[in-house]
Amino acid sequence: MHKTYGVLAKKLSQRMEQLNAAPNMATMFIIPGAECHALSGDRKGQWAISISGNYRLIFGVAQEPIPEKPDGTVNEILVTEICMLETVDYHQ
């Protein structure tokens, strides 16, 4: 991991451990510094977690069907399976 991500490797590893330990996706929204948030536009249906600066770990829901609230949004408390998609600086 260090060879590919250099100085970001430690924080990326920490975020991956936090994702694996979380009982559900809602937990990620309360981890200090993770800045977990839903994405929009062509990344709708994906979420990002801060790694460092502009770099984010992007993930999606791996459950079928995706748990939803009555208003049609994702019910983060019921999401227990995610897939990590990429690590990227999407602000460029």
Whichever domain contains 35, its CATH number is 3.30.2310.20
In the block, tokens 């019921």 appear at 78
**Average pLDDT, whole number, for the chain?**
91
Enter the pTM of the model.
0.88
Q: Which of 74, 72, 42, 51 is nearest to 61 (CA)?
A: 74
**Tens digit of pLDDT for each residue in 5-40?**
788 888 999 999 999 999 999 999 999 899 999 999
Give the length of the chain: 92
Structural domain tally of the chain?
1
Domain span at residue 10 reads 2-89
- d(CA 61, CA 53) in angstroms, rounded, equals 24
pLDDT of residue 50: 94
Q: Which of 40, 42, 14 is nearest to 28 (CA)?
A: 14
